[in-house]
Structure 1
């Protein structure tokens, strides 16, 4: 279990997306990735369904992911197969981060909850993972582009027929300083009814 950081709000405020080009190639230990997945596993889910599913890609396993994404991109464009140059570029992209996670929401065989609730629970699991990564000094980004959400990607990454893709997350150690973030004042976004 991940120990609570000294200041949880500071972790929320410090969580930022870090670009692929700003990552070091250093591997992330298997045990550390497992800790992040354990953080994700403690997300809330209505009906205790725990619908989040992850596939982890490291080392040469990243080629499986890059090939799936290149083919999905071709299918989106109406092409039967990926152009070799697109495959090469996709492989180079996946090699920029030492760890990639594919994320899906998988309702039960006999669903107790509507799909949107299972997806929201999976989003909570992703947020837990992203915050835990920041607390451990690991940079991340959640990607929900069309190839990552495509049906071919789901099939190629061996998620079940019931699963709905929720995107990809990459993880790595930052090469430089953490990006700084800004938010407008919370008062601009809240209405009190008393």
Structure 2
């Protein structure tokens, strides 16, 4: 498949449901290229706070067990029930690759924590656009189990790190979904004169 250019990837990127992914494995070199793209995201103060753990093959079962345990903890249970664990394993096997994402602030933070989170969000968006450019679908999941502190600890992130969710990656089974957006003109104001503020206040 021919790679899309940047604007093409931006327009064509869609969140794809796990049930619409093929089981075909993704080459490690491809995954590394996506992570390299994410590594060039902007970060205030050049902190580069994004951290990733990649799960493929049987490694996906570790992610499944971790998320099942976090879900059990959310329900006030020490360990997941067998049915909960089975469902989570089935879910994780729907995508050939998963990437857990965390934000890890510097030991002596120079920036507010929310700026570090924004930087990681930029890294995730960059990764998903790079994925679409090479024909890979993605789904960024930020539900309660994926954000639970147990998930960060169990996956080996630093003690100061906080989860930002998990990303499913895979080749789509069928046609790419077509997206829609309202006109950008409905969401933008243009200010071209220095006295524009006064005219806005005058109108009400």
Classify the TM-score, shorter chain.
Answer: over 0.9
Q: Which residue of 1 aligns with 2:195?
A: none
Q: Hey, what's the Cα distance between the residues in 1 that align with 2:6 and 2:130?
A: 10
Return the TM-score normalized by structure 1. Answer: 0.96
TM-score by length of 2: 0.91
Larger Rg: 2
Partner of 2:91: 93
Q: Which residue of 2 aligns with 1:18?
A: 16
How far does residue 6 in structure 1 lie from its aligned partner after superposition? Answer: 6.1
Within 2, Cα distance between the matches of 1:6 and 1:147?
34
> Equivalent residue for 1:189?
187
Q: What is the deviation of 1:112?
A: 1.3
Equivalent residue, structure 2, for 1:137 = 135
2:77 counterpart of 1:79: yes
User: CA distance change for structure 1 residues 26 and 114 in 2, over 3 Å: closer, same or farther?
Assistant: same
| Partner in structure 1 of residue 159 of structure 2 | 161
Q: For 1:126-179, what per-residue CA distance to the aligned partner results, in whole angstroms no more than 9, with x for missing partners? A: 000000000000010000000000000011001001111000001001111101
Query: 38-47 or 76-85, which moves further after superposition?
Result: 76-85
1: CA distance, partners of 2:121 / 2:114: 10
Q: Which residue of 1 aligns with 2:116?
A: 118
Q: List runs of 5+ in structure 1 lacking aligned partners.
A: none
SS in 2 for 1:165: strand
Tell me what 2:29 maps to: 31
The 1-side partners of 2:4 and 2:106 are apart by 37
Cross-structure match for 1:65: 63
Residue 100 of structure 2 aligns with which residue?
102
- Deviation of residue 64 (structure 1)? 0.8
State how many pairs are aligned.
190
Taking the aligned partners of 1:96 and 1:28, their CA distance within structure 2 comes to 13
Residues of 2 paired with 1:39 and 1:59: CA distance?
23
Cα distance between partner residues in 2 of 1:19 and 1:80: 30
CA distance in 1, matches of 2:5, 2:65: 41
CA offset at residue 89 of structure 1? 0.4
Task: Give the distance between the partners of 2:170 and 2:6, measured in 1 at CA.
Answer: 21
SS for the counterpart of 1:63 is helix
Aligned residues: CA RMSD: 0.9
Q: Distance in 1 between matches of 2:9 and 2:170?
A: 17
